[in-house]
Structure 1
Amino acid sequence: MKSSPSPSPVSKLALAVVHEPERALPAPAGAREEALRFLLQTAADAGVTVIATRPDGDGERQLGQAWPFPSPFQVTVRTVSLSEGVDRVEARARRSLERLGLPRGDTLLVSQATDLAGVDGRALWDRLNALKDRGLFRRIGFCATVEDGPALLARRFQPDVVQMRANLLDQRAHSSGALSELAALNVDVHLSSVFARGLLFMSGESLPSHLAEHAPALSRIRRHLAEARVDPMQATLAYTLGLPGVSAVVASVASAAELRAILAAAHAPRPDLDWEALALAQPAALAQSLGAAARSAISNAA
């Protein structure tokens, strides 16, 4: 009796396309559009099936103009903040599909779990359920951190999908037991921030000032990987793709060249590493710093 072949690691790989200028080469608008089409076609040819989007900037419209035809992708859409009102959340989710050029999406995620924990959380969830019942989205869920108590929220709202942050530096999604608890509830788990906003690839000299305190620990981790002759991208993908109970690992990518590097790292043999030794001792502090920096960047761009 023949054993079934192991699934390709790309079967769990999802992509979040980055549109920020600092991640892309300067080019005329037409060249950028062609580069995005080439990136998406490269992903489709490699067997990637999930694309994760956000409702900020012009990224949704750009993707909508660049899908391969026929598109093989299942698209995940995120809501705007509940602070804008439940009606606005629903209207913007519908608008996201229009901008993406899609009659329906695969998954609609509440962008932050705190929206569900508030007084209007149930009303928000009812709206998402209504969109699902109308066939506009196949599944609904929410994004959460370890501090949000994702399993408790999952028991209350019964989502199809929960998205959490996880990477080599911050392994709390696994070590806290959250992944196994969600798996026991038959919830699909998507992991995001798998490259820790690029920290794994930065030297101490290039770290932003608000992250300087983490330089010694990051240097130790990079040295550990170098001694094992393992590339940081290969290590973090091996760690996240290998976690039990995870159905998708969302990797950010800005070009076809970056995607090819990610695909090569994902297909590399899984290294024999002491994963726990590669985690930061205080990952919550790092996550807080990264979150503050991201909010500041969004505020400055608004």
Structure 2
Amino acid sequence: MLNKATLTRWFFILASITIISLILWNTYQFFTQLKENERDKMEIWAAAQEEFKQIDLTQDEWDSRLILNVLQSNTSTPMILYTHKEDVYTGNNVDEKKVRDPVKRQKLIQQFISEYKPIDIEYNGEVLQTIYYGNSPIINKIKYYPAALIVIIVLFFLAIYFFYQTSRSSEQNKLWAGMAKETAHQIGTPLSSLVGWTEILKAEQVNPDYVLEMEKDISRLKTITERFSKVGSVPKLERLDVVEITQQSFDYLKSRTSKLIEFDLVVPNGPLYVNINPQLYSWTIENLVKNGIDAM
């Protein structure tokens, strides 16, 4: 059964996916609506251009003024107007140098065709002019918004994944720390009995060498118990002689390792005091030496 933390995490992920999907859908709808409005605006402009070609300005001043206002209202949409009879290209909201240069003009026309279908201005069934037009600056800016949003979404999901992995790793670390502490607790009970048995053996006048070796092993078990009990806890540092602790770890490893392996320890002659946790430091030394032996 899923616990509360897991349910909360999945709810957060699903809610985030839903919100991001709505943002993407609304962005797409908004972009589509803008393109449709751009198309409608250019069709109105083309109709006005067609009417302007037909009217007599002296006879219908009101209509001509209205049509001129429509024609002059396009201040953002880039377009190229091609007049078939005169074979003339006229640009609006486009760099005139590009319009005059045949190569650049053709390239620009192809770009406009890829964005919108050209509009033909006809009169009595004859095509008089063709309007090539493209996206306005605002649409060009908005069209990169979905790509930027996708990048943000990817980063967002990476953050969620990192959060999930970190949370999962934290739970695992807590589990291992709990197991280590429980192991230390379980070892502590028989260890106390062993200490008592060594005292009995001393009282029974058993060979002191045997008792000494047992005490060394008991001391070793105490060290292991302390190490396990410190897993997951903040180490407590003490100002101790690191040379002495290193020498003790060296002596223990040398006595417990095959005689075929030669040990050589180079340390300063005098004491060297540092802030250190003796149990964890000796554990580190032992692991390094054992890894070196295993690699041989």
* TM, length-normalised to structure 1: 0.16
Larger Rg: 2
Bigger RCO (CA 8 Å, 6+ sep):
1
Report which of the two has the higher share of strand: 1
* TM, length-normalised to structure 2: 0.17
